[in-house]
Amino acid sequence: MNETRPESMSSFWMPFTNNRDFKANPRLLVSAEGMYYKDVDGNSILDGTAGLWCVPCGHAQPKIVAAVREMVGQLDFAPTFQMGHPAAFDLAEKLMEYTNHRFGQVFYTNSGSEAVDTALKMALAYHRARGEGSRTRLIGRERGYHGVGFGGISVGGIGPNRRSYGPLLPGVDHLPHTHNIEKNAYSRAEPEYGAHLADELERIVALHDASTIAAVIVEPVAGSTGVLIPPKGYLKRLRELCTKHGILLIFDEVITGFGRLTTPFAFDYFDVEPDMVTCAKGITNGVVPMGAVFSKQHIYDAFMDCPAGIELFHGYTYSGHPLACAASLATLEVFKEQQIIENAAAMLDYWTDAVHSLKGLPHVIDIRTIGLVAGIELAPIAGKPPGARAFAAFKKAFADGLLIRTTGDIIALSPPLVIEKKHIDELFGKLAAVLKNLD
């Protein structure tokens, strides 16, 4: 398969990548099916991360592939400004059904980042439409990841993602993160300690006044900064405080949506009702880029009360792209027919026990799990920049036929939800060997 190797790698400026290191020792994927990638040398690589958290139904899912093929031959592109196509409306109905009609409308974007910026803009415009235009502040959280748009990095809480790009949005504040290994190490599902950290919103309200705050945005489970699981009661408390102060609560479910926690969404898992939800990735099984914002009916209604004309001056050329709609409709069907969430739930105990069996291996200082997600935190290498040890594990694992993801010195696992016991055995057999042989 060597003939598919690119002649040169100099022109592609790779995202979130150490370009020089990668180009010196590339990892090239050329095909994918089910639970496995194949690399350019023909090696099979078990996908422990669903690509980038985005392939719940497994790779090359035949029904989804066929739906996209069919749509591209039928309707390659159609605008959704002042016109539409049936699949965009059909999908919206199906998505609302998938949320159990807890939301009223869906606005389409092309990525999680766009979904986040869309939700933030909607929150500001919603308050203005209701005559509360003073509500302009947005509250995020430390260690939050909300994509890479200016809105997303402003409410996000990752230093390197913000550092070079100021000035960011004004009027943004951050809740503290909830990660605490001293109190919560080796937790399964929600850890015990830390619900009181939601009360920090009261401090922020006291400082700025509720009449200036539009929305709070959090990931129900923070993924990109290393699987930070909310303490018991934390999200419910946040909901109560937002309601008390007339602040919209946005859940960024770009990674927790579509079955990751063994429920359709994290809001189902935690039984908390946000006002808006952002999602992407699994919505099309990762096959065609698509993101979305789900909004409660009252939010949409506030816009429909305004004078006749365009109600929201916002949208993307590719909002509701026919191929994305076809992929998403097929994904929802596969979720039902193949019982994707039920399979994830059936694997939960086996998965959780397998992850926690790594306790005691060299360098492991914490393991945390929720749904089919795991964070395995390693001690950093003394005298080296943070992340060096986990990145070495990532490279070793890839060479041994296993795809993991790392952030800092944390390994994050989030396999396709079609995973079976034999894959779980393979994954943790390989990962244990990597950890045992790590400097």
- Tell me the angle at which helices 234-245 and 200-208 cross, rounded to the nearest 10 degrees: 20
Between 147 and 231, whose beta carbon lies closer to ligand PLP?
A: 147
Q: Shortest distance, CB of residue 3 to ligand PLP, whole angstroms?
A: 31
For ligand PLP, the closer CB: 269 or 428: 269
Closest contact distance (angstroms) between CB of 108 and ligand PLP is 13
Q: How far is the CB of 404 from ligand PLP (least distance, A)?
A: 16
Q: How far is the CB of 361 from ligand PLP (least distance, A)?
A: 27
- Measured CA to CA, the distance from residue 281 to residue 115 in angstroms comes to 11
Beta strands, E only, 179-231: 213-218
CB of 427 to ligand PLP, least distance (A): 21
Residue 279 neighbours by CB under 8 Å, 6+ apart: 112, 115, 253, 254, 257, 258, 265, 291, 292, 294
Identity of the residue, 103 or 145, whose beta carbon is nearer to ligand PLP in the bound complex: 145
The answer to whether 274 and 239 are in contact (CB under 8 A) is yes
**At closest approach, how far in Å is the CB of 254 from ligand PLP?**
3
CB nearer to ligand PLP: pick between 369 and 435? 369
Q: Estimate the crossing angle of helix 62-74 against helix 322-337, to 10 degrees.
A: 150
**Cβ at position 296, least distance to ligand PLP in Å:** 20
Task: List the one residue out of 224, 230, 204 whose CA is nearest residue 216.
Answer: 204
DSSP letter assigned to residue 283: G
Quick one: 67 or 116, whose CB is closer to ligand PLP? 116
Cis peptide before 167 (omega within 30 of 0): yes
Q: What is the nearest approach in angstroms of ligand PLP to the Cβ of residue 414?
A: 10
Give the CA distances from residue 350 to residues 50, 353, 420, 423, in Å, rounded to whole numbers and listed in that order: 18, 5, 10, 11
Q: Which is nearer to ligand PLP, 31 or 161 (CB)?
A: 161
Indicate the residue whose CB is closest to ligand PLP: 112
Cβ atoms of residues 366 and 375 within 8 Å: yes
Footprint of ligand PLP (CB under 6 A): 111-113, 116, 145-147, 219, 223-224, 252, 254-255, 280
145 or 269: CB nearest ligand PLP: 145
What minimum distance in Å lies between the beta carbon of 115 and ligand PLP?
Answer: 7
In 338-387, where does DSSP find H-type helix?
Answer: 340-356
| DSSP per position, 91-157 | HHHHHHHHTTTS--EEEEESSHHHHHHHHHHHHHHHHHHTT-TT--EEEEETT----SSHHHHHH--
Instruction: Name the residue nearer to ligand PLP (CB basis): 49 or 113.
Output: 113
DSSP H or E run through 24: helix 19-24
Q: Distance (Å, rounded) from C-alpha 145 to C-alpha 158?
A: 7
> 115 or 419: whose CB is closer to ligand PLP?
115
Q: Do the beta carbons of residue 372 and residue 260 sit within 8 Å?
A: yes
Q: What type of residue is 323?
A: L
> Rounded to whole angstroms, how far apart are CA atoms 27 and 374?
23
The angle at the Cα of 161, spanning 138 to 371, to the nearest 5 degrees, equals 75
**How far apart, in whole angstroms, are the C-alpha atoms of residue 26 and residue 16?**
15
Residue 377 Cβ vs ligand PLP, minimum distance, rounded to whole Å:
18
Smallest separation (angstroms) from ligand PLP to the CB of 116: 5
Contact criterion met (CB below 8 Å) for 411 and 405 = yes
Closer by beta carbon to ligand PLP, 135 or else 260: 260
- 58 vs 291, which CB is nearer to ligand PLP? 291
